[in-house]
Structure 1
Amino acid sequence: MPEPGAFASAKSFRDKVVMPFVNKLKTLIKNLTIQCVRLKEEVIQLRKEKKRLSDDVEFYKGKIKDMSDRTELLQEKADDLERVKRYAGAEQIDTIIRKVKEQERTEQQIRRYDRSYGTR
């Protein structure tokens, strides 16, 4: 802030220099306060979003673990099927599987028919 001139009165110095400077400071403080409140609200929202995303990550970690365990079990069953095929012969096992699938389809069609016509 400049020094008052030799012939400047205290009132004119206050009105022309000090008050405009104080008003600029007030405006600056007001704007900074508003910005601070907005940033605080944004931080709160970001924390909520981070919490939600962290929860999602934990959920999907559990899903991945479950799927990994299931994949391991299915791979074990596939390996067992290959062992049975080697022992009994691939053609014989494929024939058995085809017949069982046909039987399951027939049973499913019968169930649909029964539900459609109210029998059983």
Structure 2
Amino acid sequence: MSKLKELVKSLTIQCVRLKEEVLQLRDKVKHLTSDVEFYKGKIRDMNTKTELLQEKADDLERVKRYAGAEQINTIISKVKEQERMEQQTRQYHRSYGAR
């Protein structure tokens, strides 16, 4: 009879531990499912941005074909240089203009 009581006690303890483990695993699955949904949303956003960027790249290629690649590349280089100069001017004014 004593062995039976010990066996029941042992099985009860094991059952409680397993139940706690199941609850922890369910919480973990719920959390991971939430993470998966979050990253699916991020992927959808990235796909949308990728499609928009591809459209812009296609448009640029169309403009290059129409106006000539060298002329467009020259314009882009000039605009980049102008933007760089403007940024340097802003940095200079931030550094020395506030004094």
Global fold match (TM > 0.5): yes
What is the aligned-residue identity percentage?
Answer: 77
Match of 1:46 among 25, 42, 67: 25
Where has structure 1 moved over 3 Å in runs of 4 or more?
none
1:69 aligned residue? 48
Match of 1:28 among 7, 22, 29: 7
1:112 aligned residue? 91
**What CA distance in whole angstroms lies between the structure 1 residues aligned with 2:5 and 2:13?**
12
1:48 Cα deviation after fit: 0.4
Residues 33-92 of structure 1, C-alpha deviations (whole Å, 9 max, x = no match): 111111001000000000001001111111111111110010000000000000000000
Provide the TM-score with structure 1 as the length reference. 0.79
Q: CA RMSD in A?
A: 0.8
Matched, 1:84 2:63: yes
1:12 aligned residue? none
For structure 1, the 5+ residue unaligned runs are 1-21
**What CA distance in whole angstroms lies between the structure 1 residues aligned with 2:7 and 2:80?**
79
Whose helix proportion is higher, 1 or 2? 2
Task: Determine which structure has greater relative contact order: mean sequence separation of CA pairs < 8 Å that are 6+ residues apart, divided by chain length.
Answer: 1
For structure 2, the 5+ residue unaligned runs are none
**What CA distance in whole angstroms lies between the structure 2 residues aligned with 1:36 and 1:84?**
71
Q: How many residue pairs end up in the alignment?
A: 98
**What CA distance in whole angstroms lies between the structure 1 residues aligned with 2:17 and 2:89?**
66
Provide the TM-score with structure 2 as the length reference. 0.96
